[in-house]
């Protein structure tokens, strides 16, 4: 038996929409599916605006470029994928890394300590589908007069106090890579309620051209556009998002019921936070045990992945500081398969082999 850690949820309807876009001849960044996808996505998230991008990294960069962080710092958790910090440097700012808390997300206390006169804003990353502590982060951002944005690459469908991630800050960035909750192959989205920011991002992502004066550039922009064919697939997937979310939460319930709690520490539940299982994260007692279990599962054909390395340990982002939580979670963390194509039989098999390993 071969069980992949992730698998895109693709259906005949996705293919039909894709072929409709193909047959329309609008296969690049013009066509009806792009505005339809953006409007439907904004409605689902609960924001006034949404704009498609070429991927999740460009979504983050687009936000920061439009805000303007050159020469200033954005506070980013160390335990996250490299794109979170890289986007700050792409916008000519500096990522100030901080440790995570027990929820594996950015620590509010450490963030408070890291704020200085150089701080422009805070990036909350909803790691592995767990919403960050948005109330306290918002209060802190308002108190210190800095912006707050959300990296929602892994959290589409997650909620904090009944609000979707991506709706509780100045802007949210989503990824539609092949292993995400919904996919367009590559692709991303930015959500916001700020009309001025939305208009600026819409120009920046389209070469910096003025909407009302084609081929007239008043800024140096980027080509961060999504294609109509990608948007067609995205719209189709979004139309069944509740089914996708329900399936992922069913998988979470089975893992929680069947994994040995003495051996595996699972992602915690918090009042008024509703996470979305992306890849399924667990902690082992130490790095040696994590690597041993991963090796045993590989022998059974079960694909796993380690947690992200803390960014402060890597040359491009190396920083001194207290990152004990990020380091110990990264060394103990293992990601198990989680996708809508998993059968109950396969999840039972994963749990059985994991418990026996």
Length in residues, the chain: 357
CB 148 within 8 A of CB 139: no
Nearest to 324 by CA among 334, 336, 315, 312: 312
For 127, half-sphere exposure in the C-beta direction (CA atoms, 13 angstrom radius) is 32
What confidence tier does 341 reach under pLDDT thresholds 50, 70, 90? very high
Domain residue extents for the chain: 12-238, 241-356
**How much is the pLDDT for 214?**
86
Residue ranges of the alpha helices (H) in the chain? 12-23, 33-45, 56-67, 82-90, 108-114, 134-144, 195-204, 228-238, 241-258, 287-299, 324-332, 344-356
The per-residue pLDDT for range 137-149, each reduced to its tens digit, is 999 999 999 999 9
CB 178 within 8 A of CB 6: yes
The pTM for the full model equals 0.97
The per-residue pLDDT for range 228-249, each reduced to its tens digit, is 999 999 999 999 999 999 999 9
The per-residue pLDDT for range 112-133, each reduced to its tens digit, is 999 999 999 999 999 999 999 9
- The values of phi and psi at residue 92, to 5°, are 70, 25
12-238: in CATH 3.65.10.10: no
Burial code (b: 16+ CB inside 10 Å, e: under 16) for 252-274 equals beebeeebeeeebbebeeeeebb
Is the confidence at residue 354, as pLDDT, over 90? yes
So what's the architecture of 241-356 in CATH? Alpha-Beta Complex (3.90)
């Amino acid at each position: 038996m071969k069980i992949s850690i992730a698998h895109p949820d693709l259906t005949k309807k996705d293919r039909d929409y894709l072929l409709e876009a193909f047959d329309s001849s609008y296969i690049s960044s013009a066509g009806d599916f792009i505005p339809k996808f953006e409007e439907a996505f904004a409605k689902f998230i609960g924001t006034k605006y949404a704009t498609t991008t070429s991927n999740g990294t460009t979504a983050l960069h687009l936000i920061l470029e439009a805000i303007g962080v050159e020469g200033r710092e954005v506070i980013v958790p160390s335990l996250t994928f490299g794109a979170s910090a890289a986007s700050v440097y792409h916008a000519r700012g500096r990522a100030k890394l901080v440790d995570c808390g027990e929820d594996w997300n950015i620590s509010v206390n450490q963030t408070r300590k890291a704020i200085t006169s150089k701080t422009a804003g805070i990036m909350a990353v909803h790691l592995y589908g767990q919403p960050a502590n948005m109330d306290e982060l918002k209060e802190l951002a308002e108190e210190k007069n800095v912006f707050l944005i959300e990296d929602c690459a892994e959290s589409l469908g997650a909620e904090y106090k009944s609000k979707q991630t991506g709706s509780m800050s100045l802007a949210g960035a989503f990824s539609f890579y092949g292993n995400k909750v919904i996919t367009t192959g590559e692709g991303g989205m930015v959500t916001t309620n700020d009309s001025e920011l939305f208009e600026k991002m819409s120009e920046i992502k389209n070469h910096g051209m003025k909407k009302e004066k084609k081929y007239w550039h008043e800024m140096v922009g980027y080509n961060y556009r999504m294609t109509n064919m990608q948007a067609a697939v995205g719209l189709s997937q979004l139309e069944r998002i509740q089914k996708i979310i329900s399936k992922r939460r069913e998988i979470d319930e089975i893992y929680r019921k069947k994994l040995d709690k003495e051996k595996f520490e699972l992602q915690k539940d918090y009042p008024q936070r509703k996470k979305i299982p992306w890849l399924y994260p667990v902690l082992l007692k130490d790095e040696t045990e994590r690597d041993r279990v991963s090796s045993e599962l590989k022998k059974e054909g079960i694909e796993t992945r380690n947690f992200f390395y803390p960014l402060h340990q890597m040359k491009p982002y190396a920083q001194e500081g207290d990152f004990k939580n990020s380091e110990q979670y990264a060394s103990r963390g293992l990601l198990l398969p989680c996708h809508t194509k998993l059968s109950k039989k396969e999840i039972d098999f994963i749990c059985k082999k994991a418990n026996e390993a």
